[in-house]
Amino acid sequence: MDWNQILFWLLKSVLFFLVFITACAYYTLAERKVAGYIQDRKGPNRAGPFGLFQPLADGIKFLTKEEIFPKNVNKVMYLIAPGISMTCAIMAWAVVPLGGVLPLPEWVSRKTGLASLDLQIANPDTGILFLFAISSLAVYGIILAGWSSNNKYSLIGGIRSTAQMISYELPLGMSVAAIVILTGSLRLTDINDAQVGLWNVFKLPGFIAFSVFVVAMFAETNRLPFDLAEAESELVVGFHTEYGAFKFALFFIAEYMNMVTMSCVVSLLFFGGYNVPFGILEGSEFRAIFGLLFFTVKVLFFAFLFMWVRWTLPRFRYDQLMTIGWKKMIPWAVANIVIASVYIGMDGFWKW
């Protein structure tokens, strides 16, 4: 057992965690700024220059507020629920590759015995399955929060959210199945590498899968126009109505972590991931750095898309939400699996 490698892996994990947490904290600030711009107001501008310390102020507020437990709650489940949501959000991005393999300086290699740094915590053969398996477990945090709060509106919010997330996991998973057929692998790095020449979104099955995936992505993250789990005007924020202080902060940060994770996944599956366009810098030691920059730009675009849609489109009715999921998305996703199979068969035929 090489303790240097284990220590290096732990340091990398901590560094990735700090980067993601910081990114999510400033994602909340960015959304409030974008909302202010769309609504013709300034947004947060008091805590620090241009409001840059607002996430820090919010964090201090959440940590120092009084912890209140509603009467007759199931305390064990009440406390476990936000932990489940946060844990699933953290574990999901553990398999997301942020870039290629970054060469390390010689002095670092001598001390650690490692010649390169893989910009990914883990790279299992079934990475995409692990990602969606962990993401699907987050529904337990939501339903437990609604049930254990001893509040009818929270319970209704939890039930609506459970039905919504289960309904849209089906088209989400089937849209990814088409990408697996196109690339021939469940490993996220292999899916990324298969798009060196042509991104999946520019292939017919890939474009259909992308269209289904984006709609399901908004529903899975409980974002407008599919935020029926919260629906402030109907449920007083639904399943987490009875949560405050640090317990609420866990739900809050988990939502933004899931949005960042989904932005990474949609970039990896459909838009070439961290591939540098046109084969530029192929074989160069700087390829991983530029790949990380291109990947960051793609992720930022989809992160902005979440905000743009939220402050632009109205909320769907619940029956409309279910109709879109079961009667539109699922049939399209199933048909696309057939299209992807035919596409691969025809491609192999012409090569033969």
For 230-252, the pLDDT digits (tens) are: 766 666 777 888 888 888 888 88
Average pLDDT of the residues in 105-126: 75
For 125-137, the pLDDT digits (tens) are: 888 989 888 888 8
Determine if residue 23 is left, alpha or beta; phi over 0 gives left, psi from -120 to 50 gives alpha, anything else beta: alpha
For 137-182, the pLDDT digits (tens) are: 888 888 898 888 888 888 888 888 888 888 888 899 999 999 999 9
**Rounded Cα gap, residues 321 and 273, in angstroms:** 30
Structure tokens at 61: 């507020």
**Rounded Cα gap, residues 322 and 167, in angstroms:** 7
For 18-51, the pLDDT digits (tens) are: 888 888 889 999 999 999 999 889 888 888 888 8
Reported pTM:
0.89
Kindly give the residue spans of alpha helices, DSSP state H, lying in the chain.
3-38, 54-64, 75-92, 106-112, 127-148, 152-183, 188-193, 204-220, 232-235, 245-270, 287-310, 318-323, 330-351
Look at residue 171 in the predicted model and tell me its pLDDT: 92
One-letter amino acid of 167: S
Look at residue 290 in the predicted model and tell me its pLDDT: 82
For 195-212, the pLDDT digits (tens) are: 887 888 999 999 999 999
Look at residue 165 in the predicted model and tell me its pLDDT: 86
